[in-house]
A and B are shown apart, each in its own frame.
Chain A
Amino acid sequence: MRYEMPTTAKAAAGLLAKEKGRAFVLAGGTDLLVKMKAGVVEPDLIVDIKAIKGMKDIKKSAGGFVIGAAVPCVALSENAALTKAWPGVVEAANLIGSKQVQGRCTMSGNLCNASPAADSVPALIAAGAKVSIISAKGSRKVAVEDVTTGVGRTSLKKGEFVTAIELPAKKPKSGDAYLRFIPRTEMDIAVVSCAVNVSLDAKGMITKARVVLGAVAITALLVKDAASAIVGTKLDDAAKAKLAAACSAACKPIDDKRGTVEFRTEVAGVLARRAAEIAYARAGGKQ
């Protein structure tokens, strides 16, 4: 196995393009190294992107935030402006693993690892985040929901890698939230999770919503029916009941040791209701 630590994205893309064997991109490594030790993957080339300029930076602009692909999740919570604008995203990223894991792991890695239970992914989708992807042939931007295509599968082509995640600027009177169910309090994998992002008008009516479920299908699910259930309401009990029903209806979970199909389906609705309440309150809505 070859280990390379290029200092430019171009050089990294060149290394990935030239490699004939199995090439992997290394950011935090909290999934990749564990998989290597378990013998699940046997890389021929590892391209460590942490030395590339800008990869560990969080940049704020009028358009929002650009979060480099090697920014560890801990750094997100240390950024006051980001935490204020996107508390749900930051909370989700800081539920991954333990403190030491958060010191290494990245949202880009969480996304590209393509676990259905990835914590940061539903929150990023709810926020309307995009990813910047580069290869030797050029660069492109795609919505986060278009990256994961299945368990461990992404739409990234050979030689492509994620350089940054872009979060839009926070709209006035908007708020996001992320909740997950796990049987323990820390260090566990989501059994069900839900992210909600809402925008309100001056009277507290929801004008836009994005509702995303995690761990109940092969990828995170953007549930449009759930969003429609609360748009045009002040998140009254009837709207919350419709939201929960839409979320439960969208679930296509598996039975496993963490939870049954019935449990996941039920809890998806419960979490959606609770996450919506938090997001609504963060947007300045009063119930």
Chain B
Amino acid sequence: MHSISLALNGKPVHGQVEGRTLLVEFIRESRGLTGTHVGCDTSQCGACVVSVNGKAVKSCTVFAVACDGAEITTIEGLAKGVDLHPMQVAFKEHHGLQCGFCTPGMIMASIDIVKRHGKSVDEETIRRELSGNICRCTGYHNIVKAVQAGAANM
């Protein structure tokens, strides 16, 4: 077992993990934060995307022990109290979700896209950058609209 300490949604967290424990298992099972989803488990679908030291990472393909000392933000860490993050608001307003399973990963990936490409990121860039996030309801049109609207308000 390994001892790890990290900042999860701004709060210091300590835990004991096995070498092979995945970051997503630590987040969901040890910390009870089930907003981060597991879809494919093979780093294709993107439902498990979280922010690790400011970068979007598929948490099903990272060991928790490798994140010792990291700052991690999950979907639960975006809202400030009752005020949703602008990207969450945009997904709600633009109907950027149907079943919602992919939404946490979509939103975490979208915020990363806006950080790197800016508020006026174009549709083509959004579609290319979201290639690692799969929506099983195929609601991509509204997702792209939501990302553009969310970007403008970030």
Contact = CB atoms under 8 A, between A and B. Distances in A.
A46 interface: yes
A98 B20 contact: no
B140 to A, nearest CB: 12
Contact of A101 (B2, B55, B58, B63): B58
Interface residues of A, number: 25
B132 interface: yes
B116 to A, nearest CB: 9
B80 interface: no
Interface stretch (B40-48, B86-94, B143-151): B40-48
Contact of A37 (B42, B49, B58, B65): B42
Interface stretch (A1-9, A79-87, A241-249, A257-265): A1-9
Interface in B82-133: 109, 128-129, 131-133
B57 interface: yes
A158 interface: no
A284 interface: no
Contacts of A46: 19-20, 63
B30 to A, nearest CB: 16
B56 A99 contact: yes
A114 B22 CA distance: 24
A58 B58 CA distance: 24
A3 B132 contact: no
B41 A97 contact: no
A1 B61 contact: no
A249 to B, nearest CB: 34
Given A50-B66, A100-B109, A186-B131, A3 B58 contact: no
A38 B42 contact: yes
B132 A29 contact: no
A98 B129 CA distance: 8
A97 B2 CA distance: 30
B66 A48 contact: yes
A34 B61 CA distance: 7
Given A34-B61, A101-B132, A1 B19 contact: yes
Nearest to A32: B61
B2 A34 contact: no
Contacts of A100: 43, 46, 49, 56-58, 109, 132
B129 A99 contact: yes
A264 B105 CA distance: 35
Interface in A173-213: 185-187
A103 interface: yes
B18 interface: yes
A5 B62 CA distance: 14
A16 to B, nearest CB: 16
Contact of B56 (A3, A34, A103, A187): A103
A104 interface: yes
A48 B20 CA distance: 12
A48 B66 CA distance: 8
Contact of A97 (B20, B49, B132, B133): B132
A109 to B, nearest CB: 12
Nearest to B18: A1
26 contacts: A1-B19, A3-B63, A3-B66, A26-B66, A29-B63, A30-B43, A30-B61, A33-B22, A33-B61, A34-B61, A37-B41, A97-B43, A97-B44, A99-B129, A99-B132, A100-B43, A100-B46, A100-B109, A100-B132, A101-B43, A101-B61, A103-B55, A185-B131, A186-B132, A187-B44, A187-B131
